Amino acid sequence: MGSAVGKLLGLLLCLQCLIELHGVFIRFTNVTCESKDLSSSIVEYCAVTNLSKNKNSIRLRYTMLKPMLRNVEVYFQLLTRGSESINTVSNWQPFLYTLKLDLCRFWKNHHNHLARMVFEFIEGHTNLNHSCPYTKENYISIEDVTNTEVSGKIRGVPMPKGFYALFTKLSTENISRVQTNFYFEVLSP
């Protein structure tokens, strides 16, 4: 009985090693949050928290001082940074995708594959997961999204080792309200 359990544990360990070797594993390095319109929102908190040696998470919350009614747009831009450059905005270069998304339309029919993938990263961790209007929200939050969860969801996505950033802006009525930038490192392709 003991050797069967040992073999099973060994097999599971080997499978985990294969997954880590053939999948993408990321580590969050930073998150920045900025309210672009202090009359509509303020940053309550914004942080990366280390949970263990290989696991960290992101938490952020914007307090909304005015409701977001309609014409809610989210802008996403995925960037990469050269290995020789330092962490400055000018050293970030577009990687693959730039997307401007009508959030109200997206929640009606999930029409954009890339946007679906991005929102799957925060599924179950945010209150931005329903159709417009956003009239009862006192805040926008993303709570406890871990690097291990995101790593599991992007397996098979071709991303070489290196440093990346996902820059996001949320606007209503064509006015930028909040900007959140997520920084991460791909440790294994």
**Residue 5 falls inside a structural domain:** no
**Token digits of residue 127:** 């209150």
**Residue 12 falls inside a structural domain:** no
What is the tens place of the pLDDT at every residue in 125-145? 988 877 777 777 889 899 999
pLDDT at 17 over 50: no
**Token digits of residue 43:** 């940053």
Q: What is the chain's mean pLDDT, rounded?
A: 82
**Token digits of residue 68:** 């977001």
Domain that residue 96 falls in: 24-188
**Residue 42 falls inside a structural domain:** yes
Return the DSSP state at 104: H
CATH number of the structural domain spanning residue 64: 2.70.220.10
pLDDT at 97 over 80: no
Judged by phi (left if over 0) then psi (alpha if -120 to 50, else beta), residue 82 lies in beta
**Residue 2 falls inside a structural domain:** no
Q: Which amino acid is at 68?
A: M
pLDDT of residue 72: 87
- pLDDT band of residue 173 (cuts 50, 70, 90) is confident
Greatest Cα-to-Cα distance within the chain, rounded to the nearest angstrom:
66
- pLDDT band of residue 9 (cuts 50, 70, 90) is very low
**β strands within the chain, DSSP E:** 25-35, 41-52, 55-64, 72-81, 92-102, 139-146, 162-172, 175-188
d(CA 105, CA 84): 41
**Residue 1 falls inside a structural domain:** no
**Residue 121 falls inside a structural domain:** yes
Q: Which amino acid is at 90?
A: S
Q: What is the percent of the chain where pLDDT is above 70?
A: 81
Residue bearing the bigger pLDDT, 17 or 98: 98
pLDDT at 11 over 70: no
The domain tally of the chain equals: 1
What is the tens place of the pLDDT at every residue in 40-72? 999 999 999 999 999 999 999 999 998 876 788
Mean pLDDT, to the nearest integer, of 89-96?
77
d(CA 178, CA 109): 24
pLDDT of residue 6: 41
**Token digits of residue 133:** 């209007």
**Residue 14 falls inside a structural domain:** no
Nearest to 37 by CA among 61, 63, 5: 63
d(CA 110, CA 123): 14
First to last CA, the chain: 38
Residue bearing the bigger pLDDT, 108 or 33: 33
**Residue 3 falls inside a structural domain:** no
